[in-house]
Structure 1
Amino acid sequence: MPEILRFILIVGIGATVALDLWAVVMARIGWMPGTHWPAVGRWLLGLRAGRLVLEGTDSRPYSLAEAVLGWLFHYLIGLGYAAAFPLIWGTGFLSAPTVFPVVLIGIVVSSLAGLMILMPAMGGGLFARRLPGAGGVILYVLIAHAVFALAQYLLALLLA
């Protein structure tokens, strides 16, 4: 397997798994439930019909297709973030990962994408402004993506 592909698969999937494990722990201690990926799948399917925001009034049970699509989307995004490192910083990043790209992609870009794209799409508004406790949601997103970035960096170092 080519080195770049191996890097993308291990860092992308591994860091996303770390993020998911962190979300499970946080949900179990009662802080925040994390992203509901079947709802993301429903939102993605609704885009074909021109629905840019998931309606909070839809009480239908989530389908298997919605769940699979949401989780697949989640992991494809993780792979995309991993692919950004060699694409933007070159293949030298694979042998000598540095902190700045990981902070930029793993925390800044991924948090902004969640707060400015996914959160509004799920009906929570820009930077979760429509949700009660928006500050707590933002803090949760930042910490979750710091965990994601730490996993990206540690996996990149392991592979280097």
Structure 2
Amino acid sequence: MNVLAFTVLTGIGATLVMDLWGLIRARLFGIPAADYGMVGRWLGHMRNGRFRHEAIARSAAVKGEQLIGWSAHYLTGIAYATLLTIFWGTGWISHPSIGPALIVGIGTVAAPFLLMQPGMGAGIAASRTPRPNVARFQSLLNHTVFGLGLYLTAWVIRLLLPV
């Protein structure tokens, strides 16, 4: 298997793990799963030069926002998986370890804190939400689960397919 295929599969798998976690926590704890349609709405408005919203849920809907948001979600997971091979090289593919996967997973929480949440009206690190610390913890937890997903997916790929 080549590096590109491994990276794409790892990113998709890790994102799927994070999404499954979202479904589990919704069922067990009543915490709503992320609405990637709102991400699609935010991204869709960018083509008209609008990058910031007071509250993305109150902004006009964008045609195809669900598809845009979910596609961006999985493409972002693939992009984050690419960081593993950029920084840890192909050696990580041969011998995945949890440290780098968690570093990438947890490190990527900077994107929602500094880009997505402010752009969608939630403020830097969810500062404009009703319970910012809860929102921050949930973001950190989700990205930690994503990091675990990177590690687990890489091991499954390594076990099932020749690398």
- CA apart distance, 1:42: 1.1
| Residue 119 (structure 1) aligned with residue 117 (structure 2) | yes
- The Cα offsets for residues 42-83 of structure 1, whole Å up to 9 and x where unpaired, read as 1111112221123427365564x1110110000000000111
Q: Which moved more, 1:118-127 or 1:5-14?
A: 5-14
- The Cα offsets for residues 73-124 of structure 1, whole Å up to 9 and x where unpaired, read as 000000001111112221111101223321221112x211111111111110
Aligned to 1:152: 150
Q: Distance in 1 between matches of 2:111 and 2:103?
A: 12
Is the partner of 1:124 in helix, strand or coil? coil
5+ residue gaps, structure 2, are: 159-163
Aligned to 1:58: 58
5+ residue gaps, structure 1, are: none
Aligned to 2:133: 135
Is the partner of 1:91 in helix, strand or coil? helix
Q: Distance in 2 between matches of 1:26 and 1:158?
A: 24
Identity of aligned residues (%): 36
Pairwise CA RMSD: 1.8
Query: How is 1:3-152 mapped onto 2 (pairs within 5 angstroms)?
Result: 3-56=2-55, 58=58, 60=60, 63=63, 65-108=64-107, 110-152=108-150
Change (3 A) 1:113 1:59: closer
Q: Which moved more, 1:68-77 or 1:142-151?
A: 142-151
Moved over 4 A (4+): 59-62
- TM-score, L = length of structure 1: 0.88
Q: Distance in 2 between matches of 1:75 and 1:52?
A: 21
- The Cα offsets for residues 19-39 of structure 1, whole Å up to 9 and x where unpaired, read as 111112222334432321111
Q: Distance in 2 between matches of 1:26 and 1:72?
A: 22
Count of aligned pairs: 157
Q: Which moved more, 1:73-82 or 1:149-158?
A: 149-158
Q: Distance in 1 between matches of 2:59 and 2:45?
A: 15
Q: Which moved more, 1:2-11 or 1:35-44?
A: 2-11
Q: Distance in 2 between matches of 1:59 and 1:50?
A: 14
Does structure 2 retain, via aligned residues, the 8 Å contact 1:7–1:159? yes
Does structure 1 retain, via aligned residues, the 8 Å contact 2:42–2:51? yes
- TM-score, L = length of structure 2: 0.86
